[in-house]
Amino acid sequence: MPIKVGIVRDPRYLDHKTGLVHPESPNRLRSIYRMVDKEFSDRLVAIQPELATLEDLELVHTPTYIKQILSTAERDFTPLAPDTPVSAKTYMAAWLAVGGCIKGLDALLSERCQACFCLVRPPGHHALSDRAGGFCIFNNLGVTARYAIERCGFERILIIDWDIHHGNAIQDQFYGDNRVLYLSSHYMGWYPHTGDWEETGEGEGLGFNVNLPVFKEMEDEDVLHIYREVLTPIVRNFRPQLFLVAAGFDAHHRDPLGRTRLTEKAFGWLAQMVLQLSESMRSAPILLSLEGGYDNWALAASVREVLGILTFDGRRERIPLTYTKKAAEVVDKALGIHRKYGIWTS
């Protein structure tokens, strides 16, 4: 049986203007929306986003910071951070990005769909509670996870971040919290320069933060090996009730910012792995939210692979089992560090 897949989209996400040369441009979503219209028009459940409430934004962000963002309304240009410019309608897009993810979660809970891809911008995984950065303004998935805990009673949420940059703000938000397990694969040499092996959480959250610094020569089979070896036991032991995916596609080999050697197929296989793991957890719902990805062709192609897997009604392709020595070293290193916590080794 194919699962029902929702998408969140809205033309107001295109109103966040970043200037002529900024990589996080409205063309990113235009290229995805065009592909979706062409190839998935009748296969997806359309979910209309709504603004998050201020109380929901405050689940993660400080009232002062929220006021600062809303005060940029209708001003042509405000540099929130050196890499994060804001235009007149940015506040609306950012507010609606959080609200879109929450509406996506509501759609999953009401069983309108079993997986939902929130095709929103600006991205969110670098947005701290009181500071914008890395093209991010509000922490879309951070708020969604808090909302799921505080408003919907979830007790165990797994956040998987396959963007090539470390999601410092998601880590920061749940660093001392054992109800949210954050797992990120990323390259350490780039922004935001966090996400080292030894950042494993603190207090009750110790062991619930899994960083997997990867290497630039990483190929499809490598990332799949790393995720299979680490994610499978984590899911078995942690037993997540909800899967959230910080779905960035800047590890694609064409991407101008985060080039590794991945093809768009890798993201489809990763989605397949997440889907199979969710099925092993009594079909726990899956919500993906768009993070990075700055080559428009690669972005649309990668989202096509993910949606293709999620909506596919047929025999699934076998995930490749080969990998390089370096990928095995990543798994060994992670295992060495996390063995003492037992969350995925017991």
Site size toward Zn ion (CB under 5 A) is 5
Taking phi first (over 0 means left), then psi (-120 to 50 degrees means alpha), and beta for anything else, what does residue 293 get? left
Residue 327 beta carbon to Zn ion: minimum distance, rounded to whole angstroms = 20
Indicate which single residue of 142, 201, 240, 292 sits in contact with Zn ion (rule: CB under 5 A): 292
Residue 255 beta carbon to Zn ion: minimum distance, rounded to whole angstroms = 9
Query: Which is closer to Zn ion, CB of 172 or CB of 250?
Result: 250
Query: Which is closer to Zn ion, CB of 72 or CB of 184?
Result: 184
Among the residue ranges 61-69, 100-108, 172-180, 244-252, the one whose residues contact Zn ion (CB under 5 A): 244-252
The closest residue (CB) to Zn ion is 292
Query: Which is closer to Zn ion, CB of 94 or CB of 281?
Result: 94
Site string for Zn ion, 42-81 (x = CB under 5 A): ----------------------------------------
Query: Which is closer to Zn ion, CB of 207 or CB of 292?
Result: 292
Residue 229 beta carbon to Zn ion: minimum distance, rounded to whole angstroms = 23
Catalytic-role residue among 61, 126, 165, 166: 126
250 binds Zn ion (CB under 5 A): yes
Query: Which is closer to Zn ion, CB of 146 or CB of 165?
Result: 165
Site string for Zn ion, 143-182 (x = CB under 5 A): --------------------x-x-----------------
Q: Is 126 a residue of the active site?
A: yes
Q: Which of 49, 91, 130, 180 is nearest to 171 (CA)?
A: 180
What is the 3 state secondary structure string of the chain? CCCCEEEECCHHHHHCCCCCCCCCCHHHHHHHHHHHHHHCCCCCEEECCCCCCHHHHCCCCCHHHHHHHHCCCCCCCEEEECCEEECCCHHHHHHHHHHHHHHHHHHHHCCCCCEEEECCCCCCCCCECCECECCECCCHHHHHHHHHHHCCCCCCEEEEECCCCCCHHHHHHHCCCCCEEEEEEECCCCCCCCCCCCCCCCHHHCCCEEEEECCCCCCHHHHHHHHHHHHHHHHHHHCCCEEEEEECCCCECCCCCCCCCECHHHHHHHHHHHHHHHHHCCCCCEEEEECCCCCHHHHHHHHHHHHHHHHCCCCCCCCCCCCCHHHHHHHHHHHHHHHHHCCCCC
Residue 13 beta carbon to Zn ion: minimum distance, rounded to whole angstroms = 17
Residue 292 beta carbon to Zn ion: minimum distance, rounded to whole angstroms = 3
Residue 127 beta carbon to Zn ion: minimum distance, rounded to whole angstroms = 13
Query: Which is closer to Zn ion, CB of 112 or CB of 131?
Result: 131
* Residues at the contact surface with Zn ion, assessed by CB under 5 A: 163, 165, 248, 250, 292
Tell me the catalytic residues: 126
